[in-house]
Structure 1
Amino acid sequence: MQRRGFLALFLSAGASLTLAGCGFRLRGFDAPELAFDELALASSDSELARLVSERLTSLGTRVHENAPLVLNLGDEAFREHQLGVLDTGPQEREMTLSVPFSVQRRRDGAYHVPQQRLEVSTGFVVSDDNLLAQDDLREEARQELRQEALRRLFDRLRVLENTAQ
């Protein structure tokens, strides 16, 4: 009887791990490298630009000024607004990050991806009871938004072909 219980537990654990692996595959964590070997990054000095540069380098794409393709990354714009109508007690807030971007061929200026705007948003709850944690919650929301914007940007870059020549 103990063998059956152990076998059932073992099979369910194996099935869970298999399904979890499929989920990571579907989310793109094992996604192939980008179609281009080198890329120039034209952006302001922002945290998102630093994250994009690091991710490009980790994927094996060289980031340098003379690359045939240029990723134009605009300034980060954060907006925050209150979702509820009450001014007291816990307040639900929504923060949105908006970043314009485009991909351009250097030699003739043709756009592979015309200017588009990445917009991601997240919600969080602040309370008057814990004023010191509000800044931490906002910074955590900013980091979360940058990571999501980075993921969406690279999802769009993965479908580009290397037609820079």
Structure 2
Amino acid sequence: MFLNHPRRLIGCILIGLSLALSGCGFHLRGTGVDNVQLDELQLSASNSYGELYRNIRQALRIDGVEINETAPYRLQLLEERQDKTAVTYTSRATPAEFELETSLTFQISDDSGRALVGPATLKAERLFVNDTDNLTGTSEEEELLRREMRDDLTRQLLFRLSSLSESELSAREQALDRQTP
């Protein structure tokens, strides 16, 4: 009966695929499946004018986290590093491929400055081909990859923060209080 009506068959197949994908936990990348559960945070960085800082600040606001100076916990972006290393060389001893690495070291501390989480380092790496005949294209590709790595580090940080709640941070703070004589 379904073979006589190809539209019904296609519709049934699409519904079946949709159900299968939703049942297996598939989600589109960047949809914010794991939201940050913290209501408010202080946010500080060694480079508060950098792209990564702005990405993280915007992502936290989108997740509903209020950024203010009176919040009980501080997310500190301690260090952002960008490295570029030649991986392979041509026969003329010029770099043929580069490895780009961006890392972010962060910690979450209480009002007293005691670390509750971290310091921990997140990393993103990419490889790209050095086209000596197209310097403009190569530099644009490098900038695009750097932007992707910043986005990746932002997602990694939000994923880490999504596993924390204010009650858990409070429990860590109380555990530190008990250790202090």
C-alpha RMSD of the superposition: 2.4
CA distance in 2, matches of 1:30, 1:78: 26
Amino acid at match of 1:9: I
Amino acid at match of 2:70: N
Inter-CA distance 23–71: structure 2 relative to 1 (3 Å threshold): same
1:36 aligns with 2:38: yes
What residue in structure 1 maps to residue 139 of structure 2?
A: 135
Inter-CA distance 56–155: structure 2 relative to 1 (3 Å threshold): same
Q: How many residues are aligned here?
A: 162
What residue in structure 2 maps to residue 124 of structure 1?
A: 128
What residue in structure 2 maps to residue 6 of structure 1?
A: 7
User: Could you tell me how far 1:130 is from its partner in structure 2?
Assistant: 1.1
What residue in structure 2 maps to residue 78 of structure 1?
A: 82
1:104 aligns with 2:106: no
Inter-CA distance 117–30: structure 2 relative to 1 (3 Å threshold): closer
Aligned to 1:24, what secondary structure does the other structure show?
coil
Structure 2, unmatched stretches of 5+, are 171-181
Residues 119-140 of structure 1: CA deviation (Å, up to 9, x unaligned): 1111222211211111101110
Aligned to 2:119, what secondary structure does the other structure show?
strand
What residue in structure 2 maps to residue 158 of structure 1?
A: 162
Give percent identity, aligned residues only: 24
CA distance in 1, matches of 2:15, 2:89: 48
TM-score, normalised by the number of residues in structure 2:
0.78
1:48–1:146 contact (8 Å) kept in structure 2:
yes
The range that moved more, 12-21 or 136-145, is 12-21
2:40–2:67 contact (8 Å) kept in structure 1:
yes
Aligned to 1:68, what secondary structure does the other structure show?
coil
Residues 15-55 of structure 1: CA deviation (Å, up to 9, x unaligned): 44445554217x67342532221100010221111111111
CA distance in 2, matches of 1:8, 1:125: 46
Max Rg structure: 2
Amino acid at match of 1:113: V
Amino acid at match of 2:26: G
Structure 1, unmatched stretches of 5+, are none
Q: Which runs of 4+ in 1 moved over 3 A?
A: 5-8, 15-22, 87-90
TM-score, normalised by the number of residues in structure 1:
0.84
